[in-house]
Amino acid sequence: MEQIQSENNFDFGEDVESWQAATFLYNAAAKEVLTKLEILNDEFVHIHNYNPIEHIKHRIKTPDSIVKKLKRYGKEVTIQNMVNYVNDIAGIRLVCSFTSDIYKLAEMIGRQNDLTVVSIKDYIRSPKESGYKSYHMIVSVPIFMSDRVVDTKVEIQIRTIAMDFWASLEHKIYYKFEGNAPESISKGLRHCAKMVSDLDAQMLALNEEIRKYQ
């Protein structure tokens, strides 16, 4: 069976059917990764009697969002550029209780033989200026078609419940003010980010103390 690297050789063309074909691939990739993550979670529960994932969210980027991102990158709006330069079209978010769970899950994902880790951005150890914290992985998963195999990228974000709550508010503010929020709001967000970080550290320490009695 012929293997085709989607970011280099797979020509979707520029018509509506081509957009639908691209969407199909990213939906399929998200489903593949979701299944793997659910199995990993079930295995962890079976072996350690502990559930590291509180919940999983997933989404496929809308055409409008893809176009905006390509324009922000200064790229022509084509299917090929979408595949080459927009790595988060298929997105999965894992929400955990504790920061230690984030790195356990990242390690487990990285050991999957049929996933290729393309890149990692650790915004927990190196937060963004806004205070944003999360662990981002871009992985590539093979999608087996009837006549070819297409490697398709999926972004996985791993964060705690507290980080997810903060990021949800930041996302709303970003789009409300189109990335130019008043300084008082930005300052308030940074202050909340510090509180979230302190809360995560205290909750992790408390959980580790509890585990000593088990």
- Digit-coded pLDDT (tens) for 15-45: 567 778 888 999 999 999 999 999 999 988 8
pLDDT, averaged across the chain: 88
pLDDT at 7: 42
pLDDT digits 0-9 by tens, 155-193: 999 999 999 999 999 988 887 887 788 999 999 999 999
pTM: 0.87
Contact between 83 and 10 under an 8 Å Cβ cutoff? The reply is yes
Tokens of 40: 């990993």
| Distance in angstroms (rounded) separating the CA atoms of residues 81 and 78 | 5
| Residue 3, phi then psi, degrees to nearest 5 | -100, 130
The verdict on residue 172 lying in a domain is no
Question: Which residues, in sequence order, are bridge partners of residue 57?
Answer: 93
Q: Give catalytic residues, as residue numbers.
A: 155
| pLDDT for residue 46 is more than 90 | no
Whether 195 is in a domain gets the answer no
The answer to whether residue 179 sits within a structural domain is no
The one-character DSSP state at 209 is H
Q: Is residue 169 part of a domain?
A: no
Would 207 be classed as within a structural domain? no
Domain that holds residue 8: 2-162
Per DSSP, the residues of 58-125 read EEE--HHHHHHHHHHTT----HHHHHHH-TTSEEEEEEESSHHHHHHHHHHHHT-TT-EEEEEEETTT
Better pLDDT: 204 or 80: 204
CA quadruple 100, 97, 115, 59: dihedral positive or negative? negative
208 assigned to some structural domain:
no
* 186 occurs within a structural domain: no
Q: How many structural domains are present in the chain?
A: 1
| Longest CA–CA separation in the chain, Å | 62
What's the whole-number mean pLDDT along residues 63-86?
90
DSSP-assigned states of every residue in 123-187: TTTS--TT----EEEEEEEEEE-SSEEEEEEEEEEEEEHHHHHHHHHHHHHHHHTTT---HHHHH
CATH number at residue 50: 3.30.460.10
In a domain, 191, yes or no: no
